[in-house]
Amino acid sequence: MGLPVTSKPRSSRPSRRNVAAAPGAAHACAGAIKHVLACVDGTDNDRAVLEHALQVAQRFVSHVDVLHVRFDAQGASLGPQHVRRADPLLGAAAESAAAEAATRARQNFEEWQGQSGLPLRDSGTAVCRPSVLWREIVGYESDVIARIGRVSDLIVVARPDERSPSFSIMALETALFETGRPVLMVPGSTAANLFHRPLIAWNGSCEAARAIGFALPFLAELDGCVEVFTAPEAKHQAEAQELIRHLSWHGIVAERVSADAAREVGASLLAHGQVSRAGLIVMGAYTHGHYRQFLFGGVTRHVMQHAATAVLLAH
């Protein structure tokens, strides 16, 4: 006999006191996300990136590396044999723009760090409280974020908009396709509570399954019910009951909600998240292929363009 599709919030969820009473349980939970990479670019979006990263650090007792990739206008980071023979005037303009962006990013970081009170720390040995470190690396976003992101537990980037510089878009695309790590894409607004009523976008795909696996530390911290948003799809079978059963083994109560048939799936997902005041949407990215969605649109592309909620993505 299959499990019921919906469950009442908190009906079978153990209390925090019960969880904490189990030897080592609290330590295991706190250790789920220990090393966060927050990408800043010197724009107004930096604050949102840092505030969301702060929530993660405080909840999981994590360290945050705040990374700014300073554009290498001369190609010096590639080695002397690859130094570009660029137009001096263009090179000077690019150098000046890169220096200004780096200065703004550092100022944004220092202001936030002073307000957050997180201590500066370079090593993770014997760490028992959240910490932070400023990292400015000269190079190219695609190279640096791929290299550093692969050895991070979570990558936090701003959601690009029409005003975003090209390297903001590059940061998101690189984090998704070149690191194999979960990406927390955040809107450039005041940070909402990431642990309030998370919404899972479930279509049965490998990408969605990976996103849920990465999101389990967030979902396990929830007091209440997780919503599982499903929509009919030809390519994958979205068996919500099986997912709800899986989540129950992690002590997570979930209930199914369906897409609004009158809307496109992406619009329906974001609308439901707004109505339910979800603090986090969990979804697989480009489940139909990057280039197909780039050319013809799709749920991922719509969410990247319009989400006003933080989205945990995996590809």
Q: pLDDT, tens digit, for every residue of 3-18?
A: 444 444 443 344 433 3
Q: What is the pLDDT of residue 167?
A: 64
CB 202 within 8 A of CB 229: yes
User: Mean pLDDT, to the nearest integer, of 109-127?
Assistant: 89
> What's the pLDDT score for residue 19?
34
Which pLDDT band holds residue 165 (cuts at 50, 70, 90)? low
- Pairwise CA distance, residues 225 & 122, whole Å: 37
Statement: residue 35 has pLDDT above 60 = yes
The letter for the amino acid at 249 is W
Answer yes or no: are the C-beta atoms of 264 and 233 closer than 8 Å: no
Instruction: With cut-offs at 50, 70 and 90, classify the pLDDT of residue 295.
Output: very low
Other Cβ atoms closer than 10 A to 222: 21
Q: By mean pLDDT, which of 80-94, 129-143, 274-288 is the weakest?
A: 80-94
Can you tell me the distance from the alpha carbon of 178 to that of 150, in angstroms, rounded to the nearest whole number? 8
Q: How far apart are the first and last CA of the chain?
A: 33
- Look at residue 29 and tell me whether its pLDDT is greater than 80: no
Residue 128 clears pLDDT 90, i.e. is over it: no
- Sequence-distant (6+) residues with CB within 8 A of 222 are 195, 196, 197, 198, 252
**pLDDT tens-place string over residues 205-220:** 899 999 999 999 999 9
What is the C-alpha to C-alpha distance for residues 120 and 23, in angstroms, rounded to an integer? 30
pLDDT band at 255 (very low <50, low <70, confident <90, very high): very high
For position 5, what pLDDT does the model report? 41
| Residue with more model confidence, 303 or 234 | 303
For residues 62-66, give the mean pLDDT.
97
CB-based contact 259:178 (threshold 8 Å)? no
Provide mean pLDDT across the span 175-198: 92
% of the chain at pLDDT higher than 90: 60
- Average pLDDT over the chain, rounded to an integer: 83
Cα separation values, 117 from 58, 109, 110, 120, 282, Å: 11, 12, 10, 9, 29
